[in-house]
Amino acid sequence: MRILFIGDVVGDRGVQMIQTYLPQLKRDLKPQATIVNGENSTPVGRGISQKIYKQLLESGADVVTMGNHTWDNKEIYEFIGSTNKLIRPANFPGKDVPGRGWTKLKVNQATLAVINLQGRVFLPPLDDPFAVADKLVTEIRKETPVIFVDFHGEVTSEKRAIALYLKGRVSAVVGTHTHVQTNDAQVIDHQTAFMSDAGMTGPAAGILGMQPASVISRFLNQRPARYEVETSEPGIMSGCVIDINDETGHATKIKSVLIDHDHPYDR
Amino acid sequence: MRILFIGDVVGDRGVQMIQTYLPQLKRDLKPQATIVNGENSTPVGRGISQKIYKQLLESGADVVTMGNHTWDNKEIYEFIGSTNKLIRPANFPGKDVPGRGWTKLKVNQATLAVINLQGRVFLPPLDDPFAVADKLVTEIRKETPVIFVDFHGEVTSEKRAIALYLKGRVSAVVGTHTHVQTNDAQVIDHQTAFMSDAGMTGPAAGILGMQPASVISRFLNQRPARYEVETSEPGIMSGCVIDINDETGHATKIKSVLIDHDHPYDR
Amino acid sequence: MRILFIGDVVGDRGVQMIQTYLPQLKRDLKPQATIVNGENSTPVGRGISQKIYKQLLESGADVVTMGNHTWDNKEIYEFIGSTNKLIRPANFPGKDVPGRGWTKLKVNQATLAVINLQGRVFLPPLDDPFAVADKLVTEIRKETPVIFVDFHGEVTSEKRAIALYLKGRVSAVVGTHTHVQTNDAQVIDHQTAFMSDAGMTGPAAGILGMQPASVISRFLNQRPARYEVETSEPGIMSGCVIDINDETGHATKIKSVLIDHDHPYDR
Amino acid sequence: MRILFIGDVVGDRGVQMIQTYLPQLKRDLKPQATIVNGENSTPVGRGISQKIYKQLLESGADVVTMGNHTWDNKEIYEFIGSTNKLIRPANFPGKDVPGRGWTKLKVNQATLAVINLQGRVFLPPLDDPFAVADKLVTEIRKETPVIFVDFHGEVTSEKRAIALYLKGRVSAVVGTHTHVQTNDAQVIDHQTAFMSDAGMTGPAAGILGMQPASVISRFLNQRPARYEVETSEPGIMSGCVIDINDETGHATKIKSVLIDHDHPYDR
Ligand SMILES: [Fe+2]
Ligand SMILES: [Fe+2]
Ligand SMILES: [Fe+2]
Ligand SMILES: [Fe+2]
Ligand SMILES: [Fe+2]
Ligand SMILES: [Fe+2]
Ligand SMILES: [Fe+2]
Ligand SMILES: [Fe+2]
């Protein structure tokens, strides 16, 4: 099967990019499953709302993943429990964590499992993503070898480490969170597709999608500054497309997707 | 002028990649200046030695930059003071810091200044890189507008923030340290070339160039594990080439350079 | 002269403790100068307001110091510039930082200088507190050798390091920020009084003065939880009293001050 | 029963303090069980050796606890598996972690359980100490209500949070790691004895027991500096003594123990 993954959607501009380009990408690339990271999709760039979640689905997402901003918009507590298409990092600790950390969907005759995990280097100490992945993957592989992992993490070492740790056991490990696409898309040992970060989807001119002035001001002064989502026109949309052998679960190809001013969409 | 920049050279394999491909790249791309980040160039991947420094120069580097591993091999204290082609982050604090944080070289009729800076997000609290950059750039621009900055940092926000902060005042800001090339090479507002990270040069199969087994073991066990440089064959060489208008100091073009198994060198 | 220092005042309960016990302490201990850290003195435990600032002065404070919460209540921007009795960490970076980082006051025939500094270990990268202290102290000592430093920091190593660095050049280095009084009050080499942390002033039953339930919930779940100031009755008041030789600036004695349920005030 | 706890023993000076004063303290205070934190007891202040471990036992320790330096001296791997009197933080992750995280000993007719845990704030992401404590305590209480916890952590909030979380279920939570004794020994709600940090045992003049010059140099220059254990004469010995009702497991009293130049031992 072919999977299309789109990285962190930021603010209104990000949702607009999804609405504009996701249908075109799906028409042209013909993925059988589409996954979108929506952890920054509210207008303020923190968390997700039910309205936006539905817009992402209507634009073509089959599964929406999250990250460290999962709970920033409290509205998520109201609906995450009643859907299996919205997942949050599986390694959030504690009893009765709302929502779920992985999901599955039928794709043709096969089953695709999607896992969301969060790294711990320079991020809060959730449960060990390596241990949680190990356990989940072992369980899921009893049902299907086609497994996609959105690993939401800060540093390249942790992302590559978990990809190598899961190599041959999952179809793909794609990083999110840094909001900058890396140029290292690769299929490791003809088994597991990997790229350190898919990149973001939203306003191109910002810093992580936020207005530069306040971000720079905070670096200069180290005093609190309110970050506002960048609203200027040029947008960026980032992700990747992965081909997987449904029988073996092995990836055969990964290719980055990038639409921005320097890379206009023309297909 | 045209500048070729090569990201963090790691271990013997990294030095070999430089020796093999840098002459070819220089012959084909014809840069007038070549800059190489050498902070991981010793056999153990930490710091630099005089022998390797000379090898990098002999292979074609005009300037060698460093980063957070600058002082890891104590031998650097013996020779950094007697060369102006090896620079370390300019924002190391304290009195009488050995070596220098920027240098300049004659390129045709113009002067190229090269500045090395280190970020502070998830890295030690050196002096403020924004303030140091501001001061250095103001000073240097009295002599030349052609300024290249190797910004050694962990996170994408800090890297893009300093690029936007210096926009129009320097020719290029290129990130190093994550060892993974980003896919965001761009000339911001027709003024300053930028990419979040140039990527690394060395053994492709490692994690940051280190053997995966010990890195993964440390993630699993959180106990001390000795990291050894990966020694397996396939190598990677990463960087970028930047064209600059000598009169204005504005960049006109930036293009990533990537040589690895999936991107063999053929020119 | 004798100086009374009171550590981080937290919320309404903290202000009440000041109003109740500071006059008594002053009457009994007879300090010539009283310094109070007010960085958590608003009802929500973050920052300071003009009203509370005045209440602290009316209760007997001569100087109010701050810390990492300095700017949390934006109201401070309105009045910090028009008083020399409210100081914030002197090492906040940037141009035209509002307010001042040190102040002085006449005490009998002598002059007492009070400096506020913030540490950088596990705290934001302000300017180097060692370098800023070195410069300030050199300047101030031209006028007076009696210098008190409120060093607002997280870890014991940094606090003791700056005390030893400034030993003989300042009269006292007293730590704040951890909200727990340490049992290490000492005069180092008959020169500089030191204690790692003066402790907090406010509701005794909380965690840092905050209601335990939400703090514990955050540790258990790693999801956002709103911290509210603890409101239950038993209060705590922490600080120290220091005797200084006005001629030499050397401390002769330091003694901790602690009032709580187990240490009722009886004098 | 009465328990004597001694905080982080640092270097040769720390072991000497134990040898000199532990027998005296035991003779005078008459504890039925003695626990010593030995994570810094090698001559270089990192980890423990078999020889020193035996010396601590010979001097009167019944149980030795560890912390973040547990594995720094590799020799521990050789003997930790064959003793039940040396424990390391119970929340080290991974399969087949050498050694054990808790132990028990017969004290008169009762059983004392000792648990070692490590915090995660500003420390590596071990397994969740709250969850591990919850599980261990539930299990151990089937056998005995008398439980002592050495919680090795950096910040006061995490230490107090776990004490309140375990309140009524364990007899005592005593913090270690900061090497500075806090002045907050208390029995919370007549149930659980607590103090944020017991303090260190070793050379008094150092910073964390290390020679100040290199620690200060690192703060000033942010370059690598080798830390050596302070060797000068004056020593410090820190800890606490706790009385527990064997039937209920509730603490009835906690009192800090401190021997240094300003607090000479005279009994
Ligand atoms: Fe994001
Ligand atoms: Fe994120
Ligand atoms: Fe590097
Ligand atoms: Fe680096
Ligand atoms: Fe505070
Ligand atoms: Fe604070
Ligand atoms: Fe220790
Ligand atoms: Fe420790």
**What is the interface pTM, i.e. ipTM, of the complex?**
0.97
Are residues D130 and D158 in contact, defined by beta-carbon separation less than 8 angstroms?
no
- CA torsion, ordered B214, B216, B221, B227, to nearest 10 deg: 30
Q: Chain D residue with minimal CA distance to A94?
A: D131
Q: What is the pLDDT along chain A (267 residues), one digit of tens a residue?
A: 999 999 999 999 999 999 999 999 999 999 999 999 999 999 999 999 999 999 999 999 999 999 999 999 999 999 999 999 999 999 999 999 999 999 999 998 999 999 999 999 999 999 999 999 999 999 999 999 999 999 999 999 999 999 999 999 999 999 999 999 999 999 999 999 999 999 999 999 999 999 999 999 999 999 999 999 998 889 999 999 999 999 999 999 999 999 999 999 976
Q: Chain B residue with minimal CA distance to D120?
A: B222
Q: Is pLDDT above 90 for D63?
A: yes
Of A69-83, D44-58, D220-234, the poorest mean pLDDT is in D220-234
For residues B188 and B251, give the distance between their C-alpha atoms in angstroms, rounded to a whole number.
9
Measure B125 CA to nearest chain C CA, in Å.
6
pLDDT confidence bin for B173, thresholds 50/70/90? very high
**What are the residues whose beta carbons fall under 8 Å from the beta carbon of A6, sequence distance 6 or more?**
A18, A22, A34, A35, A36, A37, A61, A198, A201, A237, A238, A239, A257
What mean pLDDT is predicted for residues D213-223?
Answer: 97
DSSP 3-state assignment of A138? helix
Q: Is A190 annotated as a binding residue?
A: no
Q: Chain C residue with minimal CA distance to A77?
A: C223
Which residue out of C69, C190, C250, C263 is catalytically annotated? C69
Strands D2-6 and D235-244: antiparallel
Contacts of C162 in chain D (CB under 8 A): 219
Q: Indicate the burial class of D92 (C-beta count within 10 angstroms; 0-12, 13-18, 19 or more).
A: buried
For residues A37 and A181, give the distance between their C-alpha atoms in angstroms, rounded to a whole number.
14
Q: Do B93 and C131 touch (CB under 8 A)?
A: yes
C260 in B contact zone (CB under 8 Å): no
What mean pLDDT is predicted for residues D36-56?
Answer: 98
Strand stretches in C73-198, DSSP E: 102-107, 110-118, 147-152, 172-176, 186-188, 192-195
B97 in D contact zone (CB under 8 Å): yes
How many angstroms separate the alpha carbon of residue B157 from the centre of ligand 4?
17
DSSP 3-state assignment of A197? coil
Are residues C251 and C172 in contact, defined by beta-carbon separation less than 8 angstroms?
yes
Strands B147-152 and B102-107: unpaired
Q: Is pLDDT above 90 for B44?
A: yes
C107, HSE (Cβ side, Cα atoms, 13 Å): 29
- Which amino acid makes up residue A51? K
Are residues B211 and B226 in contact, defined by beta-carbon separation less than 8 angstroms?
no
How many angstroms separate the alpha carbon of residue B117 from the centre of ligand 7?
34
* Residue of B146, B138, B184 whose CA lies nearest to B165: B138
B261 in active site: no
Q: Which two tokens stand for residue D36?
A: 């010593």
Q: Do B94 and D124 touch (CB under 8 A)?
A: no
Strands D2-6 and B102-107: unpaired
Measure B33 CA to nearest chain C CA, in Å.
34
Contacts of D220 in chain C (CB under 8 A): 128, 130-131, 165
For residues C150 and C177, give the distance between their C-alpha atoms in angstroms, rounded to a whole number.
10
How many angstroms separate the alpha carbon of residue D164 from the centre of ligand 5?
20
Report the length, in residues, of chain A.
267
DSSP 3-state assignment of B105? strand
Measure B252 CA to nearest chain D CA, in Å.
37
How many angstroms separate the alpha carbon of residue B68 from the centre of ligand 4?
5
Sheet architecture: strand order including A102-107: A102-107, A110-118, A147-152, A172-176, A192-195, A186-188
Measure A120 CA to nearest chain D CA, in Å.
7
Contacts of C122 in chain D (CB under 8 A): 122, 154
Domains, chain D, ordered by start: 2-259 (3.60.21.10)
Q: Do B93 and C120 touch (CB under 8 A)?
A: no
Containing H/E element for B78?
A: helix B76-79
At residue C108, the pLDDT reads 87
What mean pLDDT is predicted for residues B50-60?
Answer: 98
Residue whose pair of structure tokens reads 């420390």 in the numeric block: D123
For residues B110 and B145, give the distance between their C-alpha atoms in angstroms, rounded to a whole number.
9
Cβ density class B120-140: b for 16+ within 10 Å, e for less:
bbebebbbbbbbbbbebbeeb
Q: Which of B95, B126, B127 to mutate to test the interface with C (most CBs of C within 10 A)?
A: B127
**What are the residues whose beta carbons fall under 8 Å from the beta carbon of B23, sequence distance 6 or more?**
B59, B60
Q: Indicate the burial class of A95 (C-beta count within 10 angstroms; 0-12, 13-18, 19 or more).
A: exposed
Number of H helices, E strands in chain B: 6, 12
Positions at the binding site of C: 8, 39-40, 68, 152, 177, 179
DSSP 3-state assignment of B174? strand
